[in-house]
């Protein structure tokens, strides 16, 4: 069937900010959708609140809206743009839900918008529990058995029928609160009783437990002719019980026989046919390895994290194909490299793909490292190898967590087998590493299988790796025998890991194995759905089969897995680097291992190597491709970490030198340069003992910001208010030694923080924008809201910041991008730190100011001068407010405070002609809409009382009821502001918690009393998250909120596209 002619303009709703469970895979799928549909000749209206994405670049869609993803804004956009069609299944669960909402509210009918791809009924059949169950019954496909109980007795009867263990799920509670897995009747009675009481309707669902069953996933694609193909069979190595988003997976399935695969395929085809999806669908099954029973767990009739993985694992771009199918094409009209057209597609490959997750438990002090039914991972890596062992080991060294192999992680090697086995009782993010040490200590495969439900085949593979490692260890301090070294390389052991365990220089290992002919070779993964495309992976298990062109090439090093502090922004920069290189006549060669990204899409660069970002892997590609240089400053910290080593090995690093990058990071050296330039810099010092620290602290004066010197991105950074806290920090938080000193900086209390991004060519610098942070200094810049252009910084300081930025860029000989953080205190501008590399704010600045920084910077690195680029700073007549989005709802045990350590996973942008409204919209976009009336809770620390007066006044003026705890109540009374007094938790009832639970509070403003207070007040913030009440933890943000609410009440503004905003910049 040919392309549909009845539609011209298609709207795509994407997924919003990066959160746990919904990450940049939707930037990848949305970007592919834009490309595919525009190629078919449709006009695209794209909506997303996430400014860090490639898809929201003004060139990706015809009309781009960066607006909050709510029914209200979507309706406005539809009213204005009048699209003919809506594509709902490319924007994750958010896009799907919002599309359903628009249909249910009658908006789509009213404006005559057709839904393409998957229709609204189909979404319901897939998403609604009962509708789905009915469909499955009709098809004769089993689901986990379950029944509803209204009493404990009934629950017992059902449990006896199903057999323990069972899962108790209270009806109508969020996130399964009050339920759980029970193993015996006593537990059943307790949990059921609790569940019945928390359920609004007094019902619990008693469900058969499929814990420990094999978890198997299929990605299938169906077209309008009902032709169906299976893109990929994915085996979750972690069994049922660990969320698929946290599971370690392989593709293809490795321990599942063809017969079962065929059965799953038949079920999947029956399901997509019944649900009538056009495009890709992910279907998850559980298979009981004892009896062979198969049950379907869930389906996702849309692109997903799994579909992104399946796409990258097979070279089948599911989002692209789904979009073409939604546009009316059928599979027999889309090309396939093997057999003409796609209806003939079958999974194929001569390689093994492994996906492994990246978690962030270390960022959340009180969070328990435990994996379960709720996803906790913040990112993932994918690796490709010729054998399972090779792929598995490559995935470990892709993780970017300073591990280059499976052994000797943390202190596991020092633990006894009994302890290790005990640690395996429940799944954790460290499970594979613990198993490795357990095997070293002689654990039986069967014992590990029973503890973990990980199939013995996988454990056996690991055991063989351990055995080989033990052989290597017999040669500690020298080179291992040739055949052993060659075998280790074949089994995926990295040079660095071999060097580490043998205590040898990495280079010696590399030179030796190279002399033995053990070198990386590459093989292609051909791409389906398009003509003549492929990407590449390395192996030590076959000769090289990849040709190299004679063109001039530049290498771009990507950012590796998403994690807190390094997300999609860096992928945005890498993608633009690749685009620019292509425009400038170079062949771009990308290296990255993150399957969720646009940078690992097959056509972003001329050549993509799906590889770990380690010296070993990058160097091998460099030597093969012989590019003119490598760009390391766009992929965040990942490539910078290896830049110096690469340069030493002969790699030509383009742009700012690793030496300059190092200089900026070395606070001592940086201070000297600032002194030379006469730029104010907070007092600071380095200490390698407690006594030194105390001495420096006395010199500088409290409060201080302290951090270990060997980590970046704000890890383990804290504000210290007095000597006792400093002693505590040194004693508890960090190991301190001459090799690992701590850095002690003066903390500028109540300073306004600002930052500037710049493009520099070594002799001059261009500063597109200065950003003002909403939160005061002390909150990590990644977690702070910020506004462009500044609203309260005087012009003279903005000019000073621009001037300093230029001076520092020239002083450090920066060629490319640079970001500098500033603080303004007592009419004086201080520089806090400089990062001569792409920053988190590059896409933000580029979009608000219409200056595509990541396009200009590569041109400079290739030798152009700023003067050639003819850049002009133009006044920006609107405001853009960036707000951070946090995963605290996923970590209920964690105190959701902001501090010097970054903890946000993503961000949104609110845009308006009015700064207050822009702030309000940013809050709406984070799904924490500010109330426009009602009551606020105001409890602030003693330190913040003075600034709380302005907060109270503003909310009082807006007509809000203010509830305050005794201290602040009395204080404000003294200032003539009336508040209602409310009890703290230890002061009797009803108290703050009751008021939050009863919905009597619409906004919580609570600044932490911190460690100087005897009473922990984190319960207030945790309660706000639990009951979904918006909360603010700084007075600065509270004032901005009051302004925002006032602005919103005056005028709601109207939706405007990014292209319209940009037109006004003259």
Partner 1 sequence: MSVRKQKALLVLADGTVFEGLNFGSEGETIGEVVFNTSMTGYQEILTDPSYKGQIVVMTYTQIGNYGINTEDIESGIPNIEGFIAKEFFDFPSNWRSKNDLGKYLKEHNKVCIDGIDTRALTRHLRDNGVQPGIISTEDLNPESLIEKVKKHPEISSIDLVSEVTTKEPYKWDMSLWKPEPAAAGDMKNKSEFRVIVYDFGVKMNILRHLAETGFDVTVVPAQTPPEEVMEKADGIVLSNGPGDPQTVQYAVKTAKKLLGEKPVMGICLGHQILGLALGGKTYKLKFGHHGGNHPVMDLSTGKVEITSQNHNYCVDVASLNGQVELTHKNLYDGTEEGMRHRDMPVISFQHHPEAGPGPNDSGYIFKRFRELIENGR
Phi and psi at 434, nearest 5°, equal -70, -40
Binding of residue 82 to partner 1 (CB under 8 A): no
User: In sequence order, what are the beta bridge partners of 910?
Assistant: 881
Measured from the CB atom, the residue of 266 and 410 that comes closer to partner 1 is 266
55: exposed, middle or buried (Cβ count in 10 Å: 0-12, 13-18, 19+):
buried
Give 218 or 765: the residue with its C-beta nearer to partner 1. 218
Of the residues 184, 255, 515, 652, which one makes contact with partner 1 according to CB under 8 A: 255
Q: Say whether residue 398 binds partner 1 (CB under 8 A).
A: no
Angle subtended by helix axes 258-275 and 129-139, to nearest 10? 120
Residue number, 347 or 480, with CB nearest to partner 1: 347
Residue 350 contacts partner 1 per CB under 8 A: yes
**Residue 457 engages partner 1 in binding (rule: CB under 8 A):** yes
Query: 228: part of which helix (H) or strand (E)?
Result: strand 228-236
**Residue 985 binds to partner 1 (criterion: CB under 8 A):** no
- Cβ proximity to partner 1: between 102 and 525 the closer is 525
Residue 511, phi then psi, degrees to nearest 5: -60, -40
Among positions 386, 397, 780, 882, the unique one binding partner 1 when judged by CB under 8 A? 386
Nearer to partner 1, 395 or 566 (CB): 395
* 346 lies in the site for partner 1, by CB under 8 A: yes
Instruction: Name the segment binding partner 1 (CB under 8 A); options: 160-168, 538-546, 758-766, 941-949.
Output: 538-546
Judged by CB under 8 A, the stretch of 175-183, 263-271, 364-372, 507-515 that binds partner 1 is 263-271
Q: Which residues contact 853 (CB under 8 A, 6 or more apart)?
A: 757, 759, 768, 817, 842, 845, 846
| Helix, strand, or coil (residue 127) | helix
Per-residue binding letters, 270-289, with partner 1 (x by CB under 8 A): ------------------xx
Tell me how far apart the alpha carbons of residues 497 and 922 are, in angstroms, rounded to a whole number: 45
Give the one residue of 542, 677, 958, 997 binding partner 1; rule: CB under 8 A: 542
What is the distance between the alpha carbons of residues 454 and 450, in angstroms, rounded to a whole number?
8
CB 131, min distance to partner 1, A: 24
Q: Which is nearer to partner 1, 228 or 563 (CB)?
A: 228
For 347, phi then psi, to 5°, come to -60, 140
Closest to partner 1 by CB, 137 or 346: 346
- How far apart are the C-alpha atoms of 573 and 819, rounded to whole Å? 14
Strands 43-47 and 9-13: parallel
CB nearer partner 1, residue 455 or residue 954? 455
- Name which of 714, 715, 1025 is nearest 886 in CA terms: 1025
- Piece in contact with partner 1 (CB under 8 A), picked from 255-263, 422-430, 585-593, 784-792: 255-263
Query: CA 620, CA 614: separation in Å to the nearest integer?
Result: 10
**Does 164 contact partner 1 by CB under 8 A?**
no
Record the tokens describing residue 972, joined without a space.
């404000």
313 binds partner 1 (CB under 8 A): no
Of 130-138, 260-268, 815-823, 893-901, the segment contacting partner 1 by CB under 8 A is 260-268
If DSSP codes are grouped into helix, strand and coil, which group holds residue 553?
strand
What minimum distance in Å lies between the beta carbon of 528 and partner 1?
13
Among 112, 163, 340, 668, binds partner 1 (CB under 8 A): 340
Q: Is residue 455 part of the contact set for partner 1 (CB under 8 A)?
A: yes
Q: What are phi and psi of 33, to 5 degrees?
A: -65, -45
- With tokens 């994290």, the residue in question is 305
Paired residues of 86 in beta bridges: 11, 115
DSSP letters for 265-309: HHHHHHHHHHHT--EEEEEEEEE-TTT--EEEEEEESS--HHHHH
The secondary structure element, H or E, covering residue 389 is: helix 388-398
252 binds partner 1 (CB under 8 A): yes
Quick check: bond before 292 cis, omega within 30?
no
The answer to whether the Cα torsion of 645, 646, 651, 652 is positive or negative is negative
Query: Using the rule CB under 8 A, which residue among 254, 644, 690, 749 binds partner 1?
Result: 254
Q: Is 263 in the site for partner 1 (CB under 8 A)?
A: yes
Is 211 near partner 1 (CB under 8 A)? no
Nearer to partner 1, 121 or 446 (CB): 446
Task: Work out how close the CB of 457 gets to partner 1 at its nearest, in angstroms, rounded to a whole number.
Answer: 3
Q: Which of residues 272 and 377 has its CB atom nearest to partner 1 in the complex? A: 272
Report, in Å, the least distance between residue 290 CB and partner 1: 7
Beta strand 607-610 pairing with 587-592: parallel
Q: Is residue 335 near partner 1 by the rule CB under 8 A?
A: no
Q: Is 145 a residue that touches partner 1 (CB under 8 A)?
A: no
Among 460, 475, 1011, 1052, binds partner 1 (CB under 8 A): 460
Q: Rounded distance, CA 139 to CA 134, Å?
A: 9
Q: Which of residues 643-682 bind partner 1 (CB under 8 A)?
A: none
Question: How does DSSP assign 610-646, residue by residue?
Answer: E---SHHHHHHHHHHH--SEEE-SSSTHHHHHHHHHH
Among 187, 273, 332, 662, binds partner 1 (CB under 8 A): 332
Query: What is the distance between the alpha carbons of residues 316 and 308, in angstroms, rounded to a whole number?
Result: 9
Q: Is 256 an interacting residue with respect to partner 1 (CB under 8 A)?
A: yes
Question: Token pair 């390389």 is at which residue?
Answer: 489
Please state the closest distance from residue 606 (CB atom) to partner 1, in A. 24
- Indicate whether 261 belongs to the interface with partner 1 (CB under 8 A): yes
Taking the least distance from each CB to partner 1, the nearer of 82 and 293 is 293
Measured CA to CA, the distance from residue 960 to residue 958 in angstroms comes to 6
Q: Which is nearer to partner 1, 183 or 457 (CB)?
A: 457
Q: Which is nearer to partner 1, 1 or 467 (CB)?
A: 467
The answer to whether 519 contacts partner 1 (rule: CB under 8 A) is no
387 binds partner 1 (CB under 8 A): yes
**Count of residues of this chain found to bind partner 1 when the rule CB under 8 A is applied:** 49
Angle subtended by helix axes 120-127 and 92-104, to nearest 10: 120
Six-digit token string for 272:
């997509």
Q: Which DSSP letter does residue 19 get? A: B
Whole-number Å distance between alpha carbons of 1052 and 1054: 7
- Residues 632, 590 contacting (CB under 8 angstroms): no
The nearer residue to partner 1, 522 or 579, going by C-beta atoms, is: 522
Please answer whether residues 53 and 14 qualify as being in contact, where contact means their C-beta atoms are separated by less than 8 angstroms.
yes
Closest listed residue to residue 437, CA positions, set 471, 402, 411: 411
Calpha distance 495→590 (Å, rounded): 22
CB of 347 to partner 1, least distance (A): 6
Nearer to partner 1, 541 or 929 (CB): 541
Q: Is 294 in the site for partner 1 (CB under 8 A)?
A: yes
Whole-number Å distance between alpha carbons of 873 and 855 = 16
Q: Which is nearer to partner 1, 393 or 850 (CB)?
A: 393
Restricting to residues 825-844, name those near partner 1 by CB under 8 A: none
**At its nearest, how many Å lie between partner 1 and the CB of residue 552?**
30
Tokens 């192996």 belong to residue:
539
The correct pick among 176, 335, 349, 892 for binding partner 1 (CB under 8 A) is 349
Residue 348 in contact with partner 1, rule: CB under 8 A: yes
Check residue 292 for interaction with partner 1 (CB under 8 A). Answer: yes
In the complex, least distance from residue 228 CB atom to partner 1, rounded to whole angstroms: 11
Q: Which is nearer to partner 1, 259 or 411 (CB)?
A: 259
The residues binding partner 1 (CB under 8 A) are 227, 252-263, 265-266, 288-294, 332, 339-340, 343-344, 346-352, 386-388, 455-458, 460, 464, 467, 523, 541-543, 545
């Amino acid at each position: 069937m040919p392309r549909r002619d009845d539609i011209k303009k298609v709207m795509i709703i994407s997924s919003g900010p990066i959160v746990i469970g919904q990450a940049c895979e939707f930037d990848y799928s949305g970007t592919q959708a834009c490309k595919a549909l525009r190629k078919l000749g449709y006009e695209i209206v794209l909506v997303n609140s996430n400014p860090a994405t490639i898809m929201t670049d003004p060139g990706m869609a015809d009309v781009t809206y960066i607006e909050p993803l709510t029914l209200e804004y979507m309706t406005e956009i539809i009213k204005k743009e009048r699209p003919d069609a809506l594509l709902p299944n490319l924007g994750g669960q958010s896009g799907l839900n919002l599309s359903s909402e628009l249909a249910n509210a009658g908006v789509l009918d009213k404006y005559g918008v057709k839904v393409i791809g998957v229709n609204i009924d189909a979404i319901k059949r897939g998403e609604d529990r009962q509708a789905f169950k009915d469909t499955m019954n009709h098809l004769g496909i089993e689901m986990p058995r379950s029944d509803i109980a209204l009493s404990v007795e009934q629950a017992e009867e059902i449990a006896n029928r199903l057999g323990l263990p069972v899962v108790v799920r209270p009806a109508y509670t969020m996130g399964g609160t009050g339920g759980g897995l029970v193993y015996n009747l006593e537990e059943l009675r307790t949990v059921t009783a609790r569940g019945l009481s928390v359920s609004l309707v007094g019902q619990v669902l008693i469900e058969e437990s499929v814990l420990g069953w094999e978890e198997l996933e299929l990605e299938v694609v169906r077209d309008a002719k009902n032709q169906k193909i299976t893109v990929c069979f994915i085996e979750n190595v972690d069994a049922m019980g660990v969320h698929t988003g946290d599971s370690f997976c392989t593709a293809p399935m490795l321990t599942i026989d063809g017969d079962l695969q065929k059965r799953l395929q038949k079920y999947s085809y029956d399901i997509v046919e019944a649900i009538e999806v056009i495009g890709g669908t992910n279907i998850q099954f559980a298979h009981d390895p004892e009896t062979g029973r198969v049950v379907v767990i869930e389906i996702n009739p849309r692109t997903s994290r799994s579909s992104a993985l399946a796409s990258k694992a097979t070279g089948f771009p599911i989002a692209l194909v789904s979009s073409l199918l939604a546009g009316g094409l059928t599979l027999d009209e889309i090309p396939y490299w093997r057999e003409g057209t796609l209806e003939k597609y079958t999974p194929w490959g001569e390689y093994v793909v492994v996906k492994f997750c990246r978690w962030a438990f270390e960022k959340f002090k009180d969070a328990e490292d435990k994996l379960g039914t709720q996803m906790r991972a913040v990112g993932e890596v994918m690796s490709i190898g010729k054998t399972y062992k090779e792929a598995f080991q490559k995935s470990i060294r892709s993780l970017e967590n300073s591990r280059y192999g499976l052994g000797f992680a943390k202190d596991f090697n020092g633990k006894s087998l009994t302890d290790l086995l005990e640690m395996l009782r429940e799944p954790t993010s460290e499970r594979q590493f613990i198993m490795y040490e357990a095997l070293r200590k002689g654990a039986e495969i069967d014992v590990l299988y029973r503890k973990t439900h990980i199939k013995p085949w996988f454990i056996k593979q690991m055991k063989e790796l351990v055995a080989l490692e033990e052989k290597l260890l017999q040669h500690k301090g020298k080179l291992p025998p040739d055949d052993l070294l060659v075998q280790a390389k074949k089994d995926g052991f990295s040079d660095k890991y071999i060097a580490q365990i043998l205590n040898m220089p990495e280079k010696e290992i590399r030179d030796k194995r190279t002399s033995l002919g053990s070198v990386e070779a590459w093989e292609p993964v051909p791409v389906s759905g398009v003509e003549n495309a492929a990407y590449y992976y390395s192996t030590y298990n076959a000769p090289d089969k990849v040709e190299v062109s004679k063109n001039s090439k530049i290498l771009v090093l990507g950012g590796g897995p998403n994690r807190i502090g390094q997300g999609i922004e860096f992928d945005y920069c890498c993608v633009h680097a690749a685009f620019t290189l292509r425009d400038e006549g170079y062949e771009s060669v990308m290296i990255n291992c993150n399957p969720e990204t646009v940078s690992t899409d097959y056509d972003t660069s001329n050549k993509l190597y799906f590889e770990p970002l380690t010296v070993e892997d990058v160097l091998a590609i460099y030597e093969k491709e012989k590019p003119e240089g490598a760009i390391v400053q766009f992929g965040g910290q990942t490539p910078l970490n290896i830049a110096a080593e690469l340069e030493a090995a002969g790699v030509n690093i383009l742009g700012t030198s690793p030496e300059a990058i190092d200089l900026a990071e070395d606070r001592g050296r940086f201070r000297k340069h600032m002194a030379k330039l006469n730029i104010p810099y907070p007092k600071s010092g380095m200490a390698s003992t407690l006594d030194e620290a105390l001495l420096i602290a006395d010199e500088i004066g409290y409060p201080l910001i302290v951090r270990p010197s060997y980590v970046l991105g704000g890890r383990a950074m804290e504000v210290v208010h007095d000597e006792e806290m400093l002693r505590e920090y040194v004693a508890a938080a960090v190991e301190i030694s001459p090799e690992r000193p701590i850095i002690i900086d003066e903390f500028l209390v109540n300073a306004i923080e600002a930052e500037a991004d710049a493009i520099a060519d070594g002799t001059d610098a261009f500063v597109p924008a200065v950003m003002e942070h909403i939160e005061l200094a002390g909150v990590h810049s990644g977690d702070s809201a910020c506004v462009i252009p500044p609203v309260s910084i005087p012009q003279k300081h903005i000019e000073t910041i621009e001037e300093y930025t230029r001076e520092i860029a020239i002083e450090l000989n920066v060629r490319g991008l640079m970001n500098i953080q500033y603080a303004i205190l007592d009419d004086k501008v201080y520089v806090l730190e400089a990062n001569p590399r792409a920053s988190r704010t590059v896409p933000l600045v580029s979009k608000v100011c219409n200056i595509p920084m990541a396009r200009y910077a590569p041109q400079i690195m290739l030798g152009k001068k700023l003067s050639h680029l003819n850049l002009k700073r133009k006044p920006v007549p609107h405001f853009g407010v960036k707000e951070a989005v946090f995963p605290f709802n996923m970590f209920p045990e964690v105190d959701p405070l902001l501090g010097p350590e970054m903890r946000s996973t993503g961000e949104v942008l609110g845009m308006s002609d009015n700064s207050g409204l822009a702030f309000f919209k940013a809050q709406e976009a984070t799904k924490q809409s500010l109330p426009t009336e009602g009551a606020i809770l105001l409890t602030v620390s003693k330190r913040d009382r003075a600034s709380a007066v302005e907060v109270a006044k503003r909310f009082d003026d807006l007509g809000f009821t203010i509830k305050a705890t005794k201290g602040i109540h009395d204080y404000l009374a003294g200032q003539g502001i009336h508040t209602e007094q409310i009890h703290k938790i230890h002061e009797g009832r009803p108290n703050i918690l009751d008021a939050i639970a009863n919905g009597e509070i619409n906004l919580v403003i609570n600044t932490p009393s911190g460690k100087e207070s005897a009473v922990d007040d984190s319960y207030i913030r945790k309660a706000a998250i639990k009951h979904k009440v918006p909360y603010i933890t700084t007075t600065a943000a509270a004032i901005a909120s009051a302004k925002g609410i006032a602005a919103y009440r005056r005028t709601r503004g109207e939706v405007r596209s990014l292209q319209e905003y940009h037109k006004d910049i003259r």
